[in-house]
Amino acid sequence: MERTVKLRVKVDYSTYSALKEVEKEYREVLEDAINYGLSNKTTSFTRIKAGVYKTEREKHKDLPSHYIYTACEDASERLDSFEKLKKRGRSYTEKPSVRRVTIHLDDHLWKFNLDTISISTKRSRILISPTFPKIFWRYYNTEWRIASEARFRLMKGNVVEFYVIFKRDEPKPYEPKAFIPVDLNENSVSVLINSKPLLLETNTKKITLGYEYRRKAITTGKSTKDREVRRKLKRLRERNKKVDIRRKLAKLIVKEAFESRSAIVLEDLPRRTPEHMIKDVKDKQLRLRIYRSAFSSMKNAIIEKAREFGVPVVLVNPSYTSTVCPIHGANIVYQLDGGDAPRVGVCEKGKEKWHRDVVALYNLARRAGDVSPVPLGSKESHDPPTLSGWLRAKSLHSIMNEHKMIEMKV
């Protein structure tokens, strides 16, 4: 597991120029290495290095030789991801284009010290003195360790962005004592904790549609190359907002699971889902964007956080999870026209009412191997507590307790 921390350092002109020289030559090596990989149909670091090292060493006599290694590594990574894009039909160019260069460093090319970081350049080592952001100390003072590789990039105004990489071993997943099923929807995420369902509003679809509306309002009749338009678009920060929601939600769920030694149960979503899940959105691109942020990105955020804490994740088949009664095994009938409560259905056998998301939660838990009894006909089964202000909550437990207090007052 790794995390990258960015340090921004303003340096003097001579330091910047020394790094600029490295950047220029690194880019040349990188381009040659990519071309070699393409014409020899390989993405292998070893093969690329073997192929270009001698000529590059000749061409760049006073560049520290390890830059040739790291540029070959860089080339191999770029070729690799380009291959993957091409396979998915998502590459727009014939070959990977080298636009921005981030220089890769190995343990010979940089030395870390809390006072100064030294970087090898063509003639000597240069020193930069960063001020460390809070996030740096959070990793530095815990079980994370600084990796031997690092990166830097040159920005405008003599600014160097230096990337320190922290590494940590993944904790071993424990044997789960219980299950926390999580059901993802376009506007909410529901969880089931100790047979208590909880619906957390994320409004992903609403947010995406809202941003789309505002984006249209900004760009209609104008070119997206216009500076003013670009500035306005940038200020929308749609991605930031969604990433923030995802991270916080993943953290709440994973912390809850970790503390109760539970496994998280998620739908193993099929690839074609956006078509029927968000069918009221006509625009195909927009539908895909909603699908990505509400389903796949949310799922990945939870899985990634769970891995960090050693929380086991069980992926189960999602078919019919919201249409079969978890008690009677009979069909649950939802009114086609929706009515007042479009997400509430009735079991054909027991006639009890169910909220679609709660049904899904029980069925997900079942499929993961949970055998605890399902409460019959409780109010929560068809009217689960729905929460919108969870973003600043410390834990799911505190949310549930707070909700109980409100219910008692009412």
Considering only the stretches 96-104, 178-186, 236-244, 341-349, report the one whose residues sit in contact with Zn ion under the rule CB under 5 A. 341-349
Q: Whose Cβ is closer to Zn ion: residue 347's or residue 399's?
A: 347
Considering only the stretches 55-63, 167-175, 323-331, 389-397, report the one whose residues sit in contact with Zn ion under the rule CB under 5 A. 323-331
Binding of Zn ion by 327 (CB under 5 A): yes
166-205: contacts with Zn ion (CB under 5 A): none
Side by side, which strands form the sheet with 145-155? 2-10, 159-167, 145-155, 103-105
DSSP symbol at 296: I
Considering only the stretches 16-24, 44-52, 285-293, 318-326, report the one whose residues sit in contact with Zn ion under the rule CB under 5 A. 318-326
- Residue type at position 410: V
Binding of Zn ion by 374 (CB under 5 A): no
Binding of Zn ion by 325 (CB under 5 A): yes
Q: Whose Cβ is closer to Zn ion: residue 79's or residue 347's?
A: 347
Q: How far is the CB of 302 from Zn ion (least distance, A)?
A: 29
Using the structure block, give the residue that is written with the tokens 């020899």.
40
Q: How far is the CB of 376 from Zn ion (least distance, A)?
A: 8
Q: Give the whole-angstrom CA distance, residue 90 versus residue 81.
A: 11
Q: Whose Cβ is closer to Zn ion: residue 196's or residue 328's?
A: 328
Binding of Zn ion by 328 (CB under 5 A): yes
Q: Which of 347, 361, 368, 374 touches Zn ion (CB under 5 A)?
A: 347
Count, residues near Zn ion per rule CB under 5 A: 5
Binding of Zn ion by 358 (CB under 5 A): no
Q: How far is the CB of 291 from Zn ion (least distance, A)?
A: 30
Q: Whose Cβ is closer to Zn ion: residue 55's or residue 372's?
A: 372
Biggest CA–CA distance in the chain, Å, is 82
Q: Give the whole-angstrom CA distance, residue 265 versus residue 255.
A: 14
Measured at CB, which residue is nearest to Zn ion? 347
Q: Give the whole-angstrom CA distance, residue 385 versus residue 392.
A: 17
Q: How far is the CB of 353 from Zn ion (least distance, A)?
A: 10
Binding of Zn ion by 359 (CB under 5 A): no
Q: Which of 64, 171, 173, 350 touches Zn ion (CB under 5 A)?
A: 350
Q: Give the whole-angstrom CA distance, residue 97 versus residue 115.
A: 37
Long-range (24+ apart) CB contacts under 8 A made by 396-404 are 396/191, 396/193, 396/198, 396/252, 396/253, 396/255, 396/256, 397/256, 399/198, 399/252, 400/193, 400/196, 400/198, 403/198
Q: Whose Cβ is closer to Zn ion: residue 330's or residue 393's?
A: 330
Are residues 174 and 312 in contact, defined by beta-carbon separation less than 8 angstroms?
Answer: yes
DSSP H or E stretch at residue 118 = strand 117-120
Q: Whose Cβ is closer to Zn ion: residue 314's or residue 327's?
A: 327
Binding of Zn ion by 254 (CB under 5 A): no
Q: Whose Cβ is closer to Zn ion: residue 19's or residue 374's?
A: 374
Q: Give the whole-angstrom CA distance, residue 322 versus residue 312.
A: 24
How many separate helices (H) and strands (E) can be counted in the chain? Answer: 13, 16
- Contacts to Zn ion by CB under 5 A: 325, 327-328, 347, 350
